[in-house]
Every structure is written in structure tokens, then in C-alpha cells.
């Protein structure tokens, strides 16, 4: 799709402060990414990341999952909104909802997530503590395509950090997050360049 226009269009989904969304927006503003961020959507009305996106001149929208009686109806409302922006890629940046199989298949090979571990290790939650408990020497983050199984899609790009003997979950999380902010824009850059070749 991006080959028909100059820039790939992104819709970014967030649930909170959206620090990874911010890193993508800033990379686009600095000309490091050949993308247009069409919209930032959140399932939480008070998500702090919405203010940043709005101040950056990006359309924002709230689709509150609490207003829907099922995951399917919420996901359908999300898809209806997203499709209105005609994105090339849908970027999950701290979007804290498990998506239905129908939603995932609708955006097959276009739905991207970042996960704080070196997949396939440590799928799910509490990845930093689990890495420490397992005695890992290195940990990191993975950008991957989203599939119906949680944190299981093909990996696009990874970043590694060392695990130090005096680390706790918080210090390790901070080190990984610093890498995430470089990794996500780099992975999107790779996807966009492959798409327009």
C-alpha cells in the first residue's frame, strides 16, 4: 500500500503514557522515519500519551473498552475507527488489551507489537523479574508481528541488554525501555523500507 504514496501511514494504539509512541512520533518529526502518523487511539480516556499526541498535531481518539459488553464488540469498534485512517501498519505501543482472533487476522502482517523480552523467551507479563529469576545473562525487547497466540508472531527486530548481578526488576526494566525507544522506530523503518522496495 505504501508504494502508492510517499509515506507509510501508521495508526498507534496506546493505553497509558505511550513512551514508545512518543519515540516513534519524535523519529518521524526528525525525518528518521518516512511515515505519517494518522492517529493515536486509546482504550483509556485518561491516557497521558493522548495529550502528547494531540500537542504533536496528531488526531486522537478514545474508544473506551468499558463501554462495550464483549471483547468482540470493542475490537470491532476499534477496527471501524482504524480502517477509517487507511493505515499501512497498526502499531501497538503499550496497548494493554488482548485482541481477538478476528481483529488480529483483519490486520495480518500489518499489526506490530513490542514485547519486553527476547522472544520466544518470557511471553506474557513480569518479563524482567522472570529473566532475573531464571539467571539470564542477557535480556531485551522484541518487535514482532501480532498473531492470534500471545507474543508469538514472527520477530522483526530485537535489542539486547546485559543483566547485572545487582539488578532488580525496576533497574532491568529501565535499561530495556531505553532500548525499546530506539528499537521500535528502527523496526518500523525496516518494515517501511521493505514495503516500498
Q: Residue 69, CB half-sphere, CA atoms under 13 Å: how many?
A: 0
- Selecting among 115, 128, 139, 181, the annotated active-site residue is 115
Residue 191: is it exposed, middle or buried by C-beta count within 10 angstroms (0-12/13-18/19+)? buried
Question: Mapping DSSP to helix (H, G, I), strand (E, B) and coil, where does residue 5 land?
Answer: coil
Residue 52: is it exposed, middle or buried by C-beta count within 10 angstroms (0-12/13-18/19+)? buried
| C-alpha–C-alpha distance, residues 44 and 57, integer Å | 20
Q: Which helix (H) or strand (E) holds 102?
A: helix 101-106
Q: Which helix (H) or strand (E) holds 192?
A: helix 169-196
Cβ neighbours of 76 (radius 10 Å): 16
> Does the active-site annotation cover 115?
yes
Q: Angle of helix 19-29 relative to helix 169-196, nearest 10 degrees?
A: 40
Tell me the three cell numbers of residue 122. 518470557
Positions marked catalytic: 115
Amino acid at each position: 500500500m505504501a508504494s502508492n504514496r510517499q509515506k507509510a501511514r501508521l495508526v498507534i494504539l496506546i493505553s497509558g503514557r505511550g513512551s514508545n509512541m512518543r519515540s516513534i512520533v519524535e523519529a518521524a518529526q526528525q525525518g528518521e522515519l518516512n511515515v505519517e502518523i494518522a492517529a493515536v487511539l486509546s482504550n483509556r480516556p485518561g491516557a497521558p500519551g493522548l495529550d502528547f499526541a494531540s500537542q504533536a498535531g496528531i488526531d486522537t481518539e478514545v474508544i473506551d473498552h468499558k463501554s462495550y459488553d464483549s471483547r468482540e464488540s470493542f475490537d470491532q469498534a476499534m477496527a471501524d475507527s482504524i480502517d477509517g485512517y487507511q493505515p499501512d501498519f497498526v502499531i501497538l505501543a503499550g496497548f494493554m488489551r488482548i485482541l481477538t482472533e478476528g481483529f488480529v487476522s483483519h490486520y495480518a502482517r500489518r499489526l506490530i507489537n513490542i514485547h519486553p523480552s527476547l522472544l520466544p523467551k518470557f511471553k506474557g507479563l513480569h518479563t524482567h523479574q522472570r529473566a532475573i529469576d531464571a539467571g539470564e545473562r542477557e535480556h531485551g525487547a522484541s518487535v514482532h508481528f501480532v498473531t492470534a497466540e500471545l507474543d508469538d508472531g514472527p520477530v522483526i527486530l530485537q535489542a539486547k541488554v546485559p543483566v547485572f548481578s545487582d539488578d532488580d526488576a525496576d533497574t532491568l526494566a529501565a535499561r530495556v525501555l531505553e532500548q525499546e525507544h530506539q528499537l521500535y522506530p528502527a523496526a518500523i523503518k525496516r518494515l517501511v523500507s521493505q514495503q516500498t522496495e
